[in-house]
Amino acid sequence: MKTHNIPVIAIDGPSASGKGTVAQRVAAHLGFHYLDSGALYRLVALVAMRCGVDLSDETALSKVASSLDVVFENTEIRLGNENVTEAIRAEACSNSASTIAAYPQVRSALLARQRAFRQPPGLVADGRDMGSVVFPDAVLKIFLTASAETRAQRRHKQLMEKGIDANIATLLRDIRERDARDSNRDVAPLRLGAGTGLLDTTSLDIAQAVDSVLKQYAQIGGEGRP
């Protein structure tokens, strides 16, 4: 099958919008592959921080991006032999990922790796530029968002459930800072592009958001697992 015949559902949106959970469930429902593109930026940040790479050294960071030894297996992310699924979610990693994601060389170093996820029978990809840059021919493009306050509250709940102490005001400030960085950068900024449907989940739960994506996909004649 030619790659462009493999359907892609692109779900872009800001930090902590729930797009990862929604994308994963849509993929599971359709029997599609799933790409968490943010994890790649987080992995580059993690490796760079561990190896003492300067976060302003674009060329060194792009080398880290090209040489990532990463395996995605179900919900587990492994760097070499180490399970880093939780480590890349730390707030320090989130903030550094947002900083390094502004570098064009880092973005292009990750491009082929992301496109390689496009395998039959289909792919659900989440990130910031899935519909605009990585998979411009995606059959369905969704911009999934929620108010910054709602996202901070959701993130707070998630952290508390994991036994991690967090402060809503700090989370809200970090989310706003990341939104600004991700939306105002020159390359592949987070934006509601043409042909992209807005899905505001401020007053929706996960199941309703998943249902909405699946309905939109069915409406355009999309098919998943029989």
Contact residues: ligand DC, CB under 6 A? 15, 37-38, 41-42, 94, 97-98, 101, 127-129, 178, 182
Whole-angstrom CA distances from 194 to 136, 140, 141, 221 are 11, 12, 9, 20
Q: What are phi and psi of 171, to 5 degrees?
A: -60, -40
Shortest Å distance, C-beta 221 to ligand DC: 27
Nearer to ligand DC, 48 or 225 (CB): 48
Tell how strand 76-79 and strand 82-83 pair up: antiparallel
| Listed residue (18, 32, 26) closest to 120, CA to CA | 32
| 3-state SS, one letter per residue, for 79-128 | ECCEECCCHHHCHHHHHHHHHHCCCHHHHHHHHHHHHCCCCCCCEEEEEC
Shortest Å distance, C-beta 11 to ligand DC: 10
Shortest Å distance, C-beta 62 to ligand DC: 14
Nearer to ligand DC, 38 or 224 (CB): 38
Nearer to ligand DC, 174 or 223 (CB): 174
Shortest Å distance, C-beta 218 to ligand DC: 26
Nearer to ligand DC, 77 or 182 (CB): 182
Amino acid at 93: C
Query: In 10 A of CB 49, how many CB atoms?
Result: 14
Shortest Å distance, C-beta 63 to ligand DC: 18
Nearer to ligand DC, 30 or 39 (CB): 39
Shortest Å distance, C-beta 219 to ligand DC: 25
Query: In 10 A of CB 80, how many CB atoms?
Result: 9
